[in-house]
Amino acid sequence: MRVFKRAELRGEGRTLPAQYYTSAEIFAREREHIFGERWLCVGRADQIPGSGDYFLVNILGESLIVVRGADGRVRALYNVCRHRGTRMCEQPSGRFSGAIQCPYHAWTYGLDGRLMAARNMQETPGFDKSQWPLLEAGVGEWEGFIFVSFAERPEPFAQAFAPLADRFQKWHISELRAAKRLNYTLDCNWKLVAQNYSECYHCPVIHPQLDKLSPWDSGRNDLSEGPFLGGYMTLRNPGGSMTLSGHSCRAPIGDVAGDELNRVYYYTIFPMLLLSLHPDYVMAHYLTPLALDKVHIACEWLFDPKDVAKPDFDPSDAVDFWDMTNRQDWKVCELSQAGIASRAYVPGPYSNNEGILQAYDRHYLSLMNP
């Protein structure tokens, strides 16, 4: 049984020291211990519906080709030719016609990564093309989301995501389809975005439009420790929606009913996915660190495919509301980065409303100091 409680601190809580947002050494450790070891959300399975469909993933210098094979399986192939290390694919997405070919010397690979042809290599002593497939990263799928891991021996995906198994069945997330994606680049550390997302102490000040629709202090959390954190906030008007009007012309998605019709659920899926489950749509933020003080965010809105297929379908009521809200958040995240970089910054006290941030910091530090 899921139990929802108010956020609370465990003893005294303070924000992280400045170096966790400003130190190149810390950022390098994050690259090794977090982005090099954890399961990272990189997109949706419906981005690559057919054999040969692909999209590129670029994370801190590593490039992957996420491609669907002829067998229907999704693979994450390193975008590195096994001959001279050339990056093979440059277009961010598209479709391969049965093979992936290096533009340098035309070594050609199957959609499963095996080396199919290597020009003029048949007389090379000791060469066996079966020994030179493209290297693969780990791949996992959950609720239609694709995750990758650069770890040599990643934690089994099913084990890592066991706390979320079947938790969001009512929303039928895997069946939803993206109707809009907006991209943002922020001048701040990636953690500030996730931490901002995890509390609404700031909402009456930064988001007056949001606070009119959902009380800032209505949050209750069922996941308050570990890599998955969050819970719900209530809607002020029963049957309302987080849109510019506060209403929706769409029916609830999936099997959402009862209390869920008057709630919005917000979860951080550490480290790169922020997942918001509304009665009539789902919103996902994908975070990709670009540098110590720069992060790319893709925000995507998912709807019932039957609604998306309608000629008059218009998601702008939800998209415009959250684009406004996002930009309000992004501004304060950048202001936070600027202030934390000052010699005047010292870790400040968390309020009791920010207990999820304390839990986020706890999990983050446990990975940074294994």
Task: Report the alpha-carbon distance of residue 6 to residue 352 in Å, rounded.
Answer: 9
Q: Mean pLDDT score of the chain, rounded to an integer? A: 97
Determine the pLDDT at residue 1.
Answer: 76
Q: List residues bridging with 220 in a β-sheet.
A: 232
Joined together, the tokens standing for residue 116 give 């199919």
Interval 315-322 mean pLDDT? 98
pLDDT for 251-269, tens place per residue?
A: 999 999 999 999 999 999 9
Instruction: Write out pLDDT tens, residues 97-117.
Output: 999 999 999 999 999 999 999
Q: Calculate what percentage of the chain has a pLDDT beyond 90.
A: 97
In tens, the pLDDT along 153-188 reads 999 999 999 999 999 999 999 999 999 999 999 999
Domains of the chain: 1-36+169-370 (3.90.380.10), 40-160 (2.102.10.10)
Q: What is the pLDDT of residue 370?
A: 73
Q: Which residues contact 358 (CB under 8 A, 6 or more apart)?
A: 9, 10, 13, 350
- The pLDDT value recorded for residue 92 is 97
Q: What is the Cα–Cα distance from 191 to 193, expressed in whole angstroms? A: 5
- The secondary structure element, H or E, covering residue 57 is strand 53-59
Nearest in space to 142 (alpha carbons), one of 246, 262, 234, 267: 267
Residue 261 tokens read as 């019709």
The tokens describing 323, both together, are: 């684009």
Q: What is the pTM of this model?
A: 0.96
3-state SS class at 290: strand
pLDDT at 83: 97
What the block records as the tokens of 251 is 């029916």
H/E/C letters for each residue in 305-318? HHHHCCCCCCCHHH
Mean pLDDT (whole number) for 203-232: 97
Q: pLDDT confidence of 2, banded at 50, 70, 90?
A: confident
- Specify the residue for token string 């040599």: 152
Q: Which residues pair with 94 in a beta bridge?
A: 54
* Mean pLDDT across 51-60: 97
pLDDT of res. 160: 98
Query: CA 59 → CA 25, 47, 180, 296, 366, distances in Å?
Result: 18, 18, 23, 10, 22
